[in-house]
Structure 1
């Protein structure tokens, strides 16, 4: 992990000296299943429509600062008004703006780790205290009562559904309890929501709780990770506050054009999403049959597995098979764990076969060492 130089540590603000930049730990490989991307890509017919829209988009003028055409399309899709929607440069910008607007010194963000590390990172940037409500070490599910108790003292609560990297969804009743308990705001990050079972979104609760925000992205199901486009649905006054702190022109004209096509053609992505769900089941079942592997159920486009010598297995996958997965074994609560994106049938077959061979090697090595 990269760290600031001694010179920079003297120059930056004191509260930033110990922060480390986000590191996706990327290495070019034949099969990349490390970043929860949609490895199928944009469908040819949709890509053709995007290319036409991009070709017709002037780049000599600044973009619409609020992405209003895209906001209108998103609002129509979700059955809300334009005033309930804000678009950002990926979900990450919106997450940071949330902490910038509503966090800060003397305020608290409740986090439910293991989860997306950027929540705590952004809180640190904004000098916001983080209270961690840790998940059960076996099931990796949240402690509902402890979470509600912590929410009573929180300025912000961030829930992820499905959660990255554990794959579980937050039940609607728990979201409701947290919203009722929290005097501040509750954000449900549904970046992977399209891969979950129907009816699991927190959006229906928006009408009941004006302190609820729901975050979406086009990076995952809609294969636009490279375009960087996310959006939040919330009460109009919450949207106004997020708009007040945003960087101007943060969503460029090309992203707005491509995203609008993706939203208008969203039905075309359904077969791919269905196939990813089917492949997720196949991947889960195949990995669960490998001796020495534990795999957790997932509603995202990834699965979390625990394997012997996880970091070494990850390196061997990369070096011997040219397959890249994400190593979480260093993270508190995730000892021995790797996260594997659900890819194409060919990609999933490759990682299943490779993991079976490598885990067998590790178990054999352990047995040999025990006999020495």
Structure 2
């Protein structure tokens, strides 16, 4: 299940995605429209890798590119399912076939589990026994830090791979990461700037590989298709490193903080329970009447151009996830709910 455009088209009031409501970033959009789509990008993406490496102050050799976050999620899951690095044997690395496992946070993006199952991984409840561990901070749908993440990274087994999904790091409105730089360097850090830039229609992601993960990185590179990024994605990711673009993002976060408080107040006025969140999205639990008629309610809202994201696929059956939108869109939502449920 995903938010955004559906069979009815693009929602007029789309609360269902996590994209920055002040996007698209004008500067990046202009650059994308001027992209050279008549030529192949550099197949090794040298300039882009160097720009991202300089931005993150890491070696360019640690930068990997992906067609999207979901593409990398499936790629690394497949690698873990097929091969797992064993102990050193005769001064060389070898790969041994065996049943592998994956651990996912209790409330998290469905592709983690879907990719694991496609790769033949067993989903386990104890992260210490997992070969692949997923983390997202701040996470979706709750927009909060992942409880016990630092301890999880410290306690992982030697061969376990930890992927830290950083999709919402740039959309953090409060709080700070629970991880130290050293702990982050022990993870595969997955970045998708299209959400923060309000350009989710442009697919493209990048990864910072952990330190001392050259063998795994080589295998992942070998599994990638040629030209995972088209010209539009190259332009978007390159622009992501520009000071002017980052300044636009910081200003947008200031506005989103104000809008968020207003939107929370309107949801509270409706009698909805608000879950704490550090991001531009949060979860709400409506009153019992709406929960009992959830399907009818969502259809009625969608008929008026308002789309909410039911959080059932995240394991929160009673809740909706809402991104922060502008005050006029908030008012349209508030009126629609009042008209639907005047007695509750």
TM interval, shorter chain, is 0.7 to 0.9
Deviation of 1:197 after TM superposition, in Å, equals: 4.8
The answer on 1:122 being equivalent to 2:102 is: no
Q: 1:37 to 1:175 in 2, by over 3 A?
A: same
What is the CA RMSD across the aligned residues, in angstroms?
Answer: 2.4
Deviation of 1:98 after TM superposition, in Å, equals: 1.4
Deviation of 1:277 after TM superposition, in Å, equals: 2.9
Map residues 150-189 of structure 1 onto 2, 5 A cutoff.
150-170=126-146, 174-183=148-157, 184-189=160-165
In 2, are the aligned partners of 1:103 and 1:156 still within 8 Å (CA)? no
Q: Name the residue aligned to 1:355.
A: 337
Structure 2 unmatched ranges of 5 or more: 83-97
Q: Secondary structure at the match of 2:282?
A: strand
The answer on 1:220 being equivalent to 2:204 is: no
Q: Distance in 1 between matches of 2:177 and 2:46?
A: 24
| Higher RCO (CA-CA < 8 Å; seq separation 6+) | 2
Q: Name the residue aligned to 1:4.
A: none
Q: Secondary structure at the match of 1:343?
A: coil
Q: Distance in 2 between matches of 1:169 and 1:209?
A: 14
Q: In the alignment, which of 301, 324, 327 is matched to residue 280 of structure 2?
A: 301
Deviation of 1:350 after TM superposition, in Å, equals: 1.9
Q: How big is each residue's C-alpha offset from its partner over 1:220-250, in whole Å with a ceiling of 9 and x where there is no partner?
A: 1112211111111122524333212212211
What TM-score does the superposition give when structure 1 sets the normalisation length? 0.77
Q: Secondary structure at the match of 2:189?
A: strand
Q: Distance in 2 between matches of 1:121 and 1:316?
A: 30
Q: Distance in 2 between matches of 1:303 and 1:226?
A: 22
Map residues 38-187 of structure 1 onto 2, 5 A cutoff.
38-52=20-34, 54=35, 57=36, 59-61=38-40, 63-104=41-82, 106-131=99-124, 133=125, 150-170=126-146, 174-183=148-157, 184-187=160-163
Deviation of 1:208 after TM superposition, in Å, equals: 4.6
Q: Distance in 2 between matches of 1:33 and 1:219?
A: 17
Map residues 308-323 of structure 1 onto 2, 5 A cutoff.
308-309=290-291, 310-319=294-303, 321-323=304-306
Q: How big is each residue's C-alpha offset from its partner over 1:47-70, in whole Å with a ceiling of 9 and x where there is no partner?
A: 334433x1xx25233x22343322
Number of residue equivalences: 314
Deviation of 1:198 after TM superposition, in Å, equals: 6.5
Deviation of 1:39 after TM superposition, in Å, equals: 3.2
In 2, are the aligned partners of 1:301 and 1:341 still within 8 Å (CA)? yes
Q: Secondary structure at the match of 1:339?
A: strand
In 1, are the aligned partners of 2:108 and 2:314 still within 8 Å (CA)? no
Q: How big is each residue's C-alpha offset from its partner over 1:113-166, in whole Å with a ceiling of 9 and x where there is no partner?
A: 2211110001111111112x4xxxxxxxxxxxxxxxx12211011012122112
Q: Name the residue aligned to 1:260.
A: 238
Deviation of 1:332 after TM superposition, in Å, equals: 6.9
What TM-score does the superposition give when structure 2 sets the normalisation length? 0.82
In 2, are the aligned partners of 1:313 and 1:359 still within 8 Å (CA)? no
Q: Distance in 2 between matches of 1:224 and 1:51?
A: 12
In 2, are the aligned partners of 1:83 and 1:239 still within 8 Å (CA)? no
Q: Name the residue aligned to 1:324.
A: 307
In 2, are the aligned partners of 1:100 and 1:126 still within 8 Å (CA)? yes
Q: Name the residue aligned to 1:232.
A: 207
Q: How big is each residue's C-alpha offset from its partner over 1:284-335, in whole Å with a ceiling of 9 and x where there is no partner?
A: 23212322x112111232121112233322111112x321111234x47412
Q: Name the residue aligned to 2:316.
A: 334
Q: How big is each residue's C-alpha offset from its partner over 1:158-196, in whole Å with a ceiling of 9 and x where there is no partner?
A: 01212211221126xx32211122120111212011122
In 2, are the aligned partners of 1:311 and 1:327 still within 8 Å (CA)? no
Most deviating of 274-283 and 75-84: 274-283
In 2, are the aligned partners of 1:284 and 1:297 still within 8 Å (CA)? no
